[in-house]
């Protein structure tokens, strides 16, 4: 009789051992470990789980530590093995295998510095036995040799968990420390590799060194999970040498899961062929061809969960075919091409959690209805569109059906339009109303007055904001019929990041002055609320590039304010800085200069609302 499920034995073993008490589970685990080769990480985890049991027998504790000592010796970790062997001999001083390993692998190898007698952490029963052993005089001089251990005897897994919380700057410093943390920091730093093939010799040499290390060091290559390749060469500088190195290095990256490629179309075709031949089981792929609109042959991957494609031309048929073959697995899609329509037929919208699309919605499009009716799992929906269809009715349907219940991030940006839909933004407001889980909101339309009238973007749209009580970030175009002070009263109290768009002719200083009465009351400091403008043709956006303009809603003290400044930029605090009242004066369009209007304030002064400048002494 053939077994239908090859994992049926695993399931049966799990079900049988589930009913056993912890002591018997430890017996089964130790017996199974005795039949395996010395896989150190597997044994480390298993032994640590056994030693954490309060009811573990002394014999099993010694057996578990002996297994871990053998695994550590095989991996060259002599200090950890020395500690385990000492713990075994403290439990059973005449243990023959422990004594033999101590003599042959530790005492005579010279690889372990002779520390004072140290008893590593153990469970309660081991501590009792060790205490009895020392009291009864089995080791007469041992009690006088016990000293506190200066380095925590954490396992590798605990050190790795600690290192995960360190920023890259600290991980680079840890590389120089003669400790297990150095190897862990190296693994974490190089889980994501960026290769820059650019005219800069320093960057090119760095990328070549990384590829060489990948080729010659299999252990280093095993830790790489994300690879990003950037190439910005000219037609006269082919990528032949770099392609050869990639052809040798990519097969070594056995755990590669995510790839980003930004280069010319010709080099990208070569890179994708190499990637496909390496037989990687990729989960994420990001492609950004820098030139050309020729067809791109995609590799035959069928388990992609995250896909990103950004281009300015080309035929969407190849991309749609790739999306079709990965339709069951894709969870996150990022597709930007202003000339392409939304691929409703080639996406399983019900499986998506993140959708970011920039493109065209033609006159007969029902893409909005498809997204709202099928995207039940969507947490992030970002749409930047050239709109040629009436979308208001589709958003009304979504509002009535309470679509997208898990939505946390929403963006609707109009890049262009060829439609008169006066109910568009009122319908979007109805769709967004009372969403308690929404964290980020972007609503952007052309700032011209006639454009906002054609799309229904007025004060009623901003009326939905007070119902979004958990909103943290807001980017929006300011309606023509909403004053700055009134607009700020509508912004939810919890917003910590605010960006407003207005006409280029808006004078920033009076605009910021009007906003003073209305900012949210809880955040006592608002930094750099920029006034940005966008013309009818989508011109460049301006702002306040110089200085720091803050609106203080007090009362607070100078010391508190400087402490906030220190959190924004670690400049040293009150000892090397002073605060003065300031005024802003324009000396160029959208260029302002800070002028102090009085002497420095004292640290105990209470600050009334106003504009202040921080000056280094």
Is residue 247 scored above 70 in pLDDT?
yes
Strand partners, 231: 197
User: For residue range 456-488, what is the model confidence (pLDDT) as tens digits?
Assistant: 998 889 889 999 999 999 999 888 887 777 788
With 0-12 / 13-18 / 19 or more C-beta atoms within 10 angstroms meaning exposed / middle / buried, residue 16 is exposed
Grade residue 549 by pLDDT with cuts at 50, 70 and 90. Answer: very low
Judge whether residue 146 has pLDDT over 50: no
Which of 261-275, 319-333, 419-433 has the lowest average pLDDT? Answer: 261-275
Is 50 exceeded by the pLDDT of residue 172? yes
Indicate the range of 276-285, 312-321, 552-561 predicted with least confidence. Answer: 552-561
The pLDDT assigned to 79 comes to: 78
Instruction: Assess whether pLDDT exceeds 80 at residue 541.
Output: no
**Contacting residues for 329 by C-beta, under 8 A, at least 6 apart:** 302, 303, 304, 305, 351
Beta strands in 158-299 (DSSP E): 192-197, 226-231, 258-263, 284-289
List the single range of 118-127, 347-356, 476-485 with lowest mean pLDDT. Answer: 118-127
Q: Phi and psi dihedrals of 299, rounded to 5?
A: -70, 160
Higher pLDDT, 422 or 101: 422
Is residue 552 predicted with pLDDT exceeding 60? no
Per-residue pLDDT reduced to its tens digit, 63-105: 888 888 888 888 777 777 888 888 888 888 778 888 787 776 5
Q: Out of 2.60.120, 3.40.1350, 3.80.10, 1.10.260, which CATH number does the structure's domain 331-520 have?
A: 3.80.10
Does residue 574 carry a pLDDT above 90? no
Residue 562's pLDDT is what? 58
> What pLDDT sits at residue 3?
44
Instruction: Record the tokens describing residue 420, joined without a space.
Output: 């008169």
Q: Half-sphere exposure (CA, 13 Å, Cβ side) for 578?
A: 9
Q: What is the pTM of this model?
A: 0.61
DSSP string over 456-492: T-SHHHHTTGGG-TT--EEEEEPPTTS-HHHHHHHS-
Region(s) of the chain under CATH 3.80.10:
331-520
Q: Specify whether the CB–CB gap between 181 and 151 falls below 8 A.
A: no
């Amino acid at each position: 009789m053939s077994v239908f499920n090859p994992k049926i034995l695993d399931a049966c073993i799990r079900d049988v051992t589930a009913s056993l008490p912890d002591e018997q589970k430890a017996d089964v685990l130790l017996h199974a470990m005795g039949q395996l080769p010395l896989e150190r990480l597997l044994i480390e985890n298993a032994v640590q789980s056994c030693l954490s049991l309060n009811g573990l027998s002394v014999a099993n504790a010694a057996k578990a530590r002996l297994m871990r000592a053998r695994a550590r010796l095989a991996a060259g970790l002599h200090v950890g093995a020395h500690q385990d062997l000492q713990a075994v001999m403290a439990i059973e001083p005449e243990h023959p295998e422990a004594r033999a390993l101590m003599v042959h692998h530790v005492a005579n190898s010279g690889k372990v510095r002779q520390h004072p007698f140290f008893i590593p952490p153990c469970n309660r029963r081991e501590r009792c036995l060790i205490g009895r052993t020392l009291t009864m005089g089995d080791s007469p001089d041992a009690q006088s040799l016990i000293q506190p251990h200066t380095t925590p005897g954490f396992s590798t897994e605990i050190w790795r968990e600690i290192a995960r919380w360190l920023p890259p700057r600290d991980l680079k410093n840890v590389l120089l420390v003669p400790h297990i943390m150095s190897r862990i920091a190296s693994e974490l730093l190089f889980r994501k590799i960026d290769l820059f093939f650019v005219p800069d010799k320093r960057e090119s040499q760095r990328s070549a060194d990384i590829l060489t290390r990948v080729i010659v060091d299999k252990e280093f290559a095993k830790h790489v999970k994300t690879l990003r390749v950037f190439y910005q060469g000219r037609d006269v500088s082919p990528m032949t040498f770099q392609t050869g190195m990639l052809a040798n290095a990519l097969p070594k990256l056995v755990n590669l899961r995510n790839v980003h490629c930004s280069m010319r179309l010709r080099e990208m075709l070569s890179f994708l062929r190499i990637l496909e031949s390496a037989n990687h089981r990729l989960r994420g792929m990001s492609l950004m061809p820098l030139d050309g609109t020729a067809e791109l042959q995609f590799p035959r991957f069928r388990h992609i969960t995250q896909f990103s494609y950004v281009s300015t031309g080309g035929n969407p048929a190849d991309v749609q075919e790739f999306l079709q073959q990965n339709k069951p697995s894709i969870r996150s899609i990022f597709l930007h091409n202003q000339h392409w329509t939304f691929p409703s037929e080639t996406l399983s919208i019900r499986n998506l959690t993140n959708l970011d699309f920039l493109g065209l919605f033609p006159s007969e499009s029902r893409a909005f209805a498809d997204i709202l009716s099928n995207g039940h799992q969507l947490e992030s929906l970002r749409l930047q569109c050239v709109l040629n269809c009436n979308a208001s009715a589709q958003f009304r349907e979504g509002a009535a059906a309470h679509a997208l219940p898990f939505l946390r991030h929403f963006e609707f940006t109009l890049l262009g339009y060829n439609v008169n839909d006066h109910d568009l933004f009122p319908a979007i407001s109805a769709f967004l109303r009372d969403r308690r889980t929404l964290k980020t909101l972007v609503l952007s339309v052309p700032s011209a007055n006639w454009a906002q009238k054609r799309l229904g973007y007025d004060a009623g749209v901003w009326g939905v904001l007070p119902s979004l009580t958990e909103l943290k970030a807001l980017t929006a175009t300011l309606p023509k019929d909403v004053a700055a002070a009134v607009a700020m009263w509508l912004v939810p109290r919890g917003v910590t990041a605010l960006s407003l768009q207005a006409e280029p002719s808006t004078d920033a200083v009076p605009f910021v002055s009007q906003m003073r009465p209305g900012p949210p009351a809880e955040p006592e400091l608002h930094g750099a609320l920029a006034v940005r403008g966008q013309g009818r043709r989508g011109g460049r956006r301006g702002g306040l590039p110089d200085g720091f303009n803050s609106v203080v809603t007090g009362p607070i003290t100078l010391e508190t304010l400087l402490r906030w400044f220190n959190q924004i930029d670690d400049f040293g605090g009150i000892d090397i800085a002073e605060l003065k009242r300031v005024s802003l004066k324009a000396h160029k369009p959208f260029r302002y200069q800070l002028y102090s209007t009085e002497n420095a304030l004292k640290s105990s002064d209470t600050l009334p609302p106003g504009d202040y400048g921080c000056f280094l002494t």
